[in-house]
Structure formats: structure tokens, C-alpha cells
């Protein structure tokens, strides 16, 4: 599969040049494209985006007030527009605004609003939060009511404290109250696209402020009984569960209540490893037996802690997701799992003794050892 960075190539540069030309006839296409292939070749994805933005800066007017309308007019305006930019072609333009447009705050934010309708400004807008988060939040609070779902999604996604690929927004990571108002506005959004971002935003907060998030989600959950709109209630319930996934993974007891789980009624009868010696690339086979000791049906969330050997002979814990199981009153169920241990770019395995234990509704059990070997 071709590396994604190759999306930003000479053809992309040519498209950008052509789109800019339609509203800025002085754009020197020949000079802009000169040495483009050679310049892009050694660069990785985000560096290619920055390279294209810098090239644009060299060939556009000096004043940002004049540049921003040119960039906006370079965007795809409608279905019949065959020249305007769309999707990842817009990324260098948004990056341009984040680097050179900070002193033209309002006009730059307006430009990013238009860009997010055809791509996303979630990375670019973070520079404006870092410069003046209060001013940017004021704008986002207004945009939370925008008719365009891409703009409303930007309100949540662009302000995420721990956005993947994006600059960390320390002020929000330290104080989740700053963005909670916009999340409250968006929790009932009609768009799945927006609500998913809201859940991911809350999940970011849960990593640094678990109790704060739990309290907020519990309040949301209590409000479900008062909401007579079934669809809205189901949507909020989905956000609650998706937003608390890291809390579930870490075994926060109150998070399981949000998922309809009662930890105290499930009894572990057996847990064992079926193949105590495995080779890298194979799966660890385990079996557990559980009982619902209550008189009501019960939901069980089963995960796995893998205590993986490190180079210094200590162990680090990696959580592997298992499954959700429903048990009838007094029902006993035996379940087998195959947990694959294969080479991945994000983890290094070492030969030797490792450990596994299951987590029943977030509660860890006694670890069992197994030996991992390399072929």
C-alpha cells in the first residue's frame, strides 16, 4: 500500500496552484512548482504539508488580509466546481493560516470555518487556542449552533485536549471545565459525526480527570429518565458509553455502572491458561468460568491484562479487550479466548515469562504465567 504522505506530490501542488490562480492572477506557477518534486521527496507527511504552505507563502501577497480571501476562493464551491480544492488538498491551506494568520485572528478563523466544510481545520485551529484560548472559545460557542455539521464537529474536535496528530492543548488538558459548555451544547446534536467527536473529546478528559468526567456522565445518565425523546436518550447513552471506554479499560468502578454493570454479582469460578508455552505469532489460549450469583440477568465485561516482559526484566501491562457477556440469573458460563501475540510496530516483545489475568467488570484476578518463545 502506497504511503499516505505520497498524497502530497507535484500533482497536488499543481492543483493548488491552479485553484489559487483563479482569484490571484499574479501567482507565479512556474516558480511555485520549481524543484517541488525534489523538495517533497525526503519529507514525511506533516513536513510535506508545511513545505507546500511555505512555498505558497513565498508566492502570495505580503498582507494576510489580501491572502485569506484568495485561499477561501481556492476551495471547492459546489458540485460543478472542477478547480476548487477538496479534502486533503486543503490541508496546506489550513496549515498556512495557522502559521501566518494569527495576527488576523477573526478573518483567519472565518477562513478556517470555510475550509473545515471541505476538509477539516481541527489541526490548524489549535494554534489559535494556544495564542488566545478565551477568544477562540467565544467563537466556538457561537459555531456550536452553526447549520453546517462540519463546523459543529470542528467545535468539538478542534478543542480536544489530546487530539491525535494535533498539538496538545495544555489549558484544556489541565482544566476540563473550559470546554464542557460546548460539549453540553453538542451532546444532543442530530449528527452522528458530531456526537462521536463529543464522545472522543470527553474520553480525552477522562485520561486526566476521571472523577470529573464520571460525575458529569452520571448527571447525563440521570437526565435520561426525564427525556421523553427516545432517539435523543439513545444518542446520549451512546456518548456516555463511548466516552467512558478508557475508564472501563482502567477499571474505574463507577464507569461500569454507566454501562449497566453490577460488579458484585459476578463470581469467577475458574481461570486458566491452556497453552503455557507459545511462539511469537501464535495466540495465548485461555478459559474462564463465571457465575451470575444474583436473581436478575447481569452484564459482564471481560478484558485481559497481559503483563509483558520488558528489556529490563520488569513487566508492563497491556490491556486486551475481551467481550461483553449477558448471564441469566444463577447462570454459569465457560468462555474461551484466543489472545494473539504477534509483531506490531508499536510494541516490542521479549522472550521469557509473561503473565495473563482476566478482568471481570474491571476487577483484576490472580495472574497466571506463560512462556513466550521466538522461532
Contact predicate 287/336, CB 8 Å: yes
Quickly tell me which residue has 455502572 as its cell: 257
For position 346, what pLDDT does the model report? 84
How far is residue 152's CA from residue 185's CA, in Å, rounded to a whole number?
A: 10
Contact predicate 278/341, CB 8 Å: yes
For residue 313, what is the DSSP state?
A: S
For position 150, what pLDDT does the model report? 98
Low-confidence ranges of the chain (pLDDT < 70): 1
Predicted model pTM: 0.83
Alpha carbon of 4 to those of 14, 44, 49, 96: distances in Å? 18, 9, 12, 20
Angle at 212 between CA 206 and CA 217, to 5 degrees: 80
The partner residues of 304 in beta bridges, in order of sequence, read 320, 358
User: What class does CATH assign to 263-373?
Assistant: mainly beta
Domain-wise residue ranges, the chain: 263-373
For position 276, what pLDDT does the model report? 92
For position 115, what pLDDT does the model report? 98
Amino acid at each position: 500500500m502506497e504511503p499516505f504522505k505520497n498524497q502530497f506530490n507535484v500533482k497536488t501542488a499543481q492543483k493548488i496552484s491552479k485553484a489559487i490562480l483563479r482569484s490571484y492572477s499574479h501567482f507565479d506557477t512556474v516558480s511555485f512548482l520549481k524543484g517541488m518534486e525534489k523538495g517533497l521527496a525526503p519529507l514525511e507527511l506533516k513536513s510535506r504539508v508545511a513545505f507546500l504552505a511555505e512555498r505558497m507563502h513565498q508566492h502570495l501577497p505580503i498582507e494576510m488580509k489580501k491572502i485569506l480571501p484568495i485561499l477561501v476562493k481556492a476551495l471547492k464551491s459546489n458540485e460543478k466546481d472542477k478547480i476548487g480544492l477538496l479534502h486533503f488538498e486543503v490541508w496546506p491551506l489550513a496549515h498556512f493560516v495557522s502559521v501566518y494568520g494569527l495576527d488576523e485572528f477573526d478573518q483567519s478563523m472565518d477562513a478556517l470555518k470555510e475550509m473545515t466544510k471541505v476538509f477539516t481545520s481541527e489541526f490548524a485551529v489549535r494554534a489559535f487556542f494556544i495564542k488566545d484560548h478565551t477568544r477562540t472559545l467565544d467563537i466556538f460557542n457561537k459555531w456550536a449552533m452553526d447549520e453546517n455539521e462540519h463546523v459543529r464537529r470542528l467545535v468539538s474536535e478542534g478543542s480536544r485536549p489530546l487530539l491525535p496528530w494535533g498539538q496538545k492543548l495544555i489549558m484544556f488538558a489541565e482544566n476540563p471545565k473550559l470546554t464542557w459548555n460546548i460539549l453540553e451544547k453538542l451532546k444532543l446534536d442530530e449528527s452522528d459525526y458530531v456526537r462521536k467527536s463529543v464522545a472522543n473529546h470527553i474520553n480525552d478528559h477522562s485520561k486526566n480527570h476521571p472523577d470529573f468526567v464520571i460525575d458529569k456522565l452520571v448527571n447525563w445518565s440521570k437526565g435520561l429518565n426525564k427525556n421523553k425523546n427516545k432517539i435523543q436518550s439513545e444518542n446520549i447513552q451512546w456518548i456516555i458509553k463511548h466516552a467512558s471506554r478508557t475508564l472501563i479499560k482502567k477499571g474505574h468502578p463507577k464507569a461500569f455502572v454507566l454501562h449497566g454493570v453490577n460488579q458484585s454479582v459476578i463470581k469467577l469460578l475458574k481461570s486458566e491458561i491452556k497453552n503455557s508455552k507459545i511462539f511469537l505469532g501464535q495466540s495465548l489460549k485461555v478459559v474462564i468460568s463465571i457465575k451470575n450469583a444474583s436473581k436478575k440477568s447481569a452484564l459482564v465485561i471481560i478484558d485481559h491484562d497481559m503483563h509483558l516482559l520488558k528489556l529490563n526484566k520488569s513487566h508492563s501491562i497491556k490491556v486486551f479487550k475481551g467481550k461483553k457477556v449477558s448471564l441469566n440469573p444463577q447462570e454459569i458460563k465457560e468462555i474461551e479466548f484466543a489472545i494473539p501475540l504477534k509483531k506490531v510496530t508499536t510494541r516490542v516483545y521479549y522472550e521469557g515469562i509473561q503473565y495473563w489475568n482476566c478482568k471481570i467488570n474491571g476487577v483484576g484476578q490472580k495472574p497466571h504465567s506463560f512462556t513466550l518463545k521466538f522461532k
